[in-house]
């Protein structure tokens, strides 16, 4: 979509003005219908006020001008400002669009006709909800090349948590729906907005975070927010000096936050096109919101909410949810160890003059020691880690790339670059890349908490599961940059380490920092979690 544009967002006709009953924490619904705007446990509708701050927060804020005096900009109002949506019946006329990007668009009959409102010519979004089927139809660049043409199109089931296929755009650059993230007049009138709000930034990283499905990044840069990054207004920001209507919006920003959904002007957030915004208390509300400094926001780490990378269903946080106990150590090629969270340091190859290069790291189950593996296949034990043999002792072939401890601490397995696995002590074997013809090179692996399976990571960022291992996503699905070098398990997820020292979390894995944040030297070769 267009970069650095001023949005003329428009939202639907009279149906949009139907008043909603005041709600405290119910999932939003579509005015003029009985349709939900996704299930109550959808990530859009999940309160994120207690989630931890994302470790990249300061850098992302700086890149969006938040530290240079940037203010919020409500990008909606009375016509022609705002993004319109339409509520129609199943009998409404439809068309089958010809898309500029058909490979990432949903085929099907979309509501269509001269009676439907659409956004102004900058993006020409057309949003329609079928109140009989609760399906949301969204197109971008509608009629850009004549009738029944569009840049892209997406159909969402508002009763479902299903996401678009990984890597697909939508009518929005992030692959997200537009309508659920709009500020609506009826919600402000009801006194509560119970969902996240969409907003834009000028530049994004060439990656995306769940629940986003697509990137449109300027470059690979961890200091730029990715599509899907979520921000919230800081809990301590005083909103008492703002009018009641502005407080409704700002309270939503504290509890539900804002998703980076597209490239555009920094800190422009979208709402409906509605004549009601032009009268009563609402012009003052819009003026009030323009006084809010972007520096009052922070990025959040919502990785703990993820249940499945292909679903918008969110694990619901309890009061005061914070990262659980634990941490991780990161190993570098020259044998250095860097500790994050409550991980403990027990020594490294450099301290003891052991030969490198270091390539693998395995933590003991009690967190009181670890093994370091070098590329020759030798093992060096620290803390309470036990020694059970190595590739050199058994003259096993291959270059060693990773080591993983069993949950009992009474054994480990060593992975070679070609994907072969060698077990020591009580380590079980469940198969390898070679057996299945999976592509390599293999770079890391990790046993599941039960010890009845493991996941193998390749340099491209792909994950292959064996035994009872569960798949939670990989670098390729999200367009994250590689090469990948390390894999660290959590109870229901894992973290992937890249050679540059970046960390990407999946499932319930928590982010606790990386080499880049601290300026530690790399290259990073392995990561291991502590209990």
Let me know whether 278 and 204 are in one domain: yes
Q: Is the peptide bond before 419 cis (omega within 30 degrees of 0)?
A: no
pLDDT(320) > 50: no
Task: Note whether 344 and 272 are same-domain residues.
Answer: no
| pLDDT of amino acid 158 | 96
Mean pLDDT of the chain: 88
Residues 93 and 231 in one domain: yes
- Most confident of the ranges 252-266, 304-318, 351-365, 411-425: 252-266
Contact assessment for residue 165 and residue 152, using Cβ atoms and an 8 Å cutoff: no
Q: If pLDDT is split at 50, 70 and 90, which confidence band does 15 have? A: very low
96 and 242 belong to one structural domain: yes
Structure confidence by residue, pLDDT tens digits, 456-499: 999 988 899 999 998 888 887 767 777 999 999 888 888 899 99
Q: Indicate whether 267 belongs to any domain.
A: yes
Same domain, 346 and 296: no
In a domain, 335, yes or no: yes
Residues 259 and 126 in one domain: yes
CA dihedral 254, 259, 260, 264 (to 10 degrees): -80
Asked if residue 381 and residue 274 are part of one domain, the reply reads no
Residue 266: the pLDDT is 98
394 and 520 together in one domain: yes
Assess if residue 319 is contained within a domain: no
Given this model, what pLDDT does residue 521 score?
A: 78
Position 493 in a domain: yes
Q: Is the pLDDT of residue 507 over 70?
A: yes
Percent residues over pLDDT 70 in the chain: 92
How many domains does the chain divide into? 2
Q: Are residues 179 and 218 in the same domain?
A: yes
State the pairing for strand pair 94-95/110-111. antiparallel
320 domain residue, yes or no = no
Tokens 């390898």, residue?
Answer: 432
Within a domain: residue 60?
A: yes
With 0-12 / 13-18 / 19 or more C-beta atoms within 10 angstroms meaning exposed / middle / buried, residue 5 is: middle
Render pLDDT for 370-381 as a digit per residue (tens, 0 to 9).
Answer: 999 998 888 999
Residue 321 lies in a domain: no
Domain-located, residue 314: no
The average pLDDT across 290-307 equals 94
318 falls in which pLDDT band (50, 70, 90)? low
Sign of CA dihedral 510, 516, 519, 521: positive
Q: What is the DSSP string of 49-88?
A: TTSPBPTTHHHHHHHTTGGGT-B-EEEEESTTSS--EEEE
**What average pLDDT does the segment 284-298 reach?**
97
Instruction: Write down which residue in 301, 336, 354 finishes a domain.
Output: 301
Q: How confident is the model at residue 5 (pLDDT cuts 50, 70, 90)?
A: very low
* Mean pLDDT for the stretch of residues 494-509: 84
Shared domain check, 343 and 283: no
- Tell whether 356 and 455 lie within a shared domain: yes
Q: Is 331 in the same domain as 479? A: yes
Domain residues for 440?
Answer: 327-530
For range 433-453, the mean pLDDT: 88
Q: Which of 301, 319, 342 is the last residue of a domain?
A: 301
**What pLDDT is attached to residue 4?**
30
Of all residues in the chain, what percent carry a pLDDT higher than 90?
A: 63
Place of tokens 């992302």: 60
Task: Provide the pLDDT for residue 398.
Answer: 67
């Amino acid at each position: 979509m267009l970069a650095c544009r001023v949005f003329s967002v428009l939202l639907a006709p009279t149906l949009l003005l139907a008043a909603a009953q005041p709600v405290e924490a119910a999932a939003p619904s579509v005015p003029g219908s009985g349709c939900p705007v996704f299930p109550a446990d959808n990530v859009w509708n999940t309160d994120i006020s207690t989630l931890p701050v994302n470790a990249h927060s300061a850098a992302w804020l700086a890149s969006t001008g938040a530290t240079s005096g940037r203010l919020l900009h409500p990008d909606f109002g009375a016509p022609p400002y705002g993004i319109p949506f339409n509520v129609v019946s199943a009998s409404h006329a439809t068309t089958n669009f010809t898309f500029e990007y058909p490979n990432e668009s949903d085929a099907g009959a979309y509501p269509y006709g001269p009676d439907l409102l659409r956004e102004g010519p900058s993006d020409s979004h057309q949003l329609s909800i079928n109140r009989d089927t609760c399906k949301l139809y969204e197109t971008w660049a509608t009629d850009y090349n004549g009738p029944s043409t569009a840049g892209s199109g997406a159909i969402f089931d508002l009763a479902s948590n299903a996401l678009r296929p990984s890597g697909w755009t939508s009518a929005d650059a992030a692959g997200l729906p537009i309508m659920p993230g709009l500020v609506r007049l009826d919600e402000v009138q009801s006194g509560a907005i119970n969902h996240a709000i969409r907003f834009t930034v000028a530049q994004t990283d060439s990656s995306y975070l769940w629940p986003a499905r697509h990137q449109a990044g300027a470059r690979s840069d961890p200091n730029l927010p990715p599509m899907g990054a979520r921000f919230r207004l800081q809990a301590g920001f005083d909103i008492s000096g703002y009018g009641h209507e502005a407080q409704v919006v700002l309270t939503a920003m504290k509890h539900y936050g804002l998703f980076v959904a597209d490239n555009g002007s920094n800190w422009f957030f979208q709402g409906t096109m509605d004549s009601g915004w032009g009268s009563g208390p609402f012009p003052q509300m819009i003026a009030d919101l323009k006084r809010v400094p972007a520096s009052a926001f922070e990025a959040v780490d919502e990785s703990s909410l993820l249940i499945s990378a292909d679903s918008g269903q969110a694990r619901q946080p309890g009061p005061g949810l914070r990262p659980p106990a634990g941490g991780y150590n990161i190993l570098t090629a020259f044998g250095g160890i860097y500790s994050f969270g409550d991980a403990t340091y027990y020594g490294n190859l450099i301290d003891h003059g052991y030969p490198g290069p270091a390539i693998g790291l395995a933590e003991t189950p009690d967190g009181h020691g670890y093994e370091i593996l070098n590329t020759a296949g030798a093992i060096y034990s620290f803390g309470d880690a036990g020694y059970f043999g190595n590739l050199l002792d058994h003259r096993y072939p291959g270059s060693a790339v990773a080591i993983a401890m069993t949950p009992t601490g009474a054994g480990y397995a060593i992975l070679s670059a070609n994907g072969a696995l060698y077990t020591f002590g009580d380590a079980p074997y469940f198969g390898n890349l070679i057996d299945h013809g999976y592509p390599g090179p293999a770079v890391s692996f990790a046993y599941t908490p039960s010890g009845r399976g493991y996941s193998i990571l390749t340099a491209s960022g792909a994950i292959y599961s064996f035994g009872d291992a569960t798949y939670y996503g990989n670098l390729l699905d999200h367009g994250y940059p590689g090469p990948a070098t390390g894999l660290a398990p959590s109870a229901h997820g894992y973290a992937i380490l890249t050679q540059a020292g970046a960390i990407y979390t999946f499932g319930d894995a928590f982010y606790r920092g990386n080499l880049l944040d601290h300026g530690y030297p790399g290259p990073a070769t392995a990561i291991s979690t502590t209990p």
